[in-house]
Amino acid sequence: MTTTLAVLLLINAAFNALVWPTFYRRVARDSRARDAAGRATRFLKVHAVLIGLALVIAAVSTVAAIASLVGAW
C-alpha cells in the first residue's frame, strides 16, 4: 500500500511539473497578462501564484514519495 501511494505521489508530481510550466507560458503570452505600460496585471500575478503553489505541492509530493519509499516515514 505504501508503495502504491508513493507511486501516486510521484505521478502527481510529474503531472504538475509537466503541465503547469506550459500553462504559465500560455498565460504570460496572453494579451491580458500585461497592461499598456507593460506591467504585469492581476491576471498574470494570480496565475503565477497559483502555478507556483502547484509546483510547491509537486515538490512536497516528490519528497514525501521518496521518504515513503526509503522508509523514513
Express each pLDDT in 57-68 by its tens digit.
999 999 999 999
Q: What is the mean pLDDT of residues 7-36?
A: 97
Residue 28 pLDDT? 98
Residue with cell 509530493: 61
Type of residue found at 61: S
Q: What is the mean pLDDT of residues 11-34?
A: 98
Residue 40, φ and ψ in degrees, nearest 5: -65, 135
Q: How confident is the model at residue 1 (pLDDT cuts 50, 70, 90)?
A: confident
Q: What is the pLDDT of residues 27-56, one digit of tens each?
A: 999 999 999 999 999 999 999 999 999 999
Partners of 34 in the β-ladder: 40
Q: What is the mean pLDDT of residues 10-17?
A: 97
CA distance 22 to 59: 17
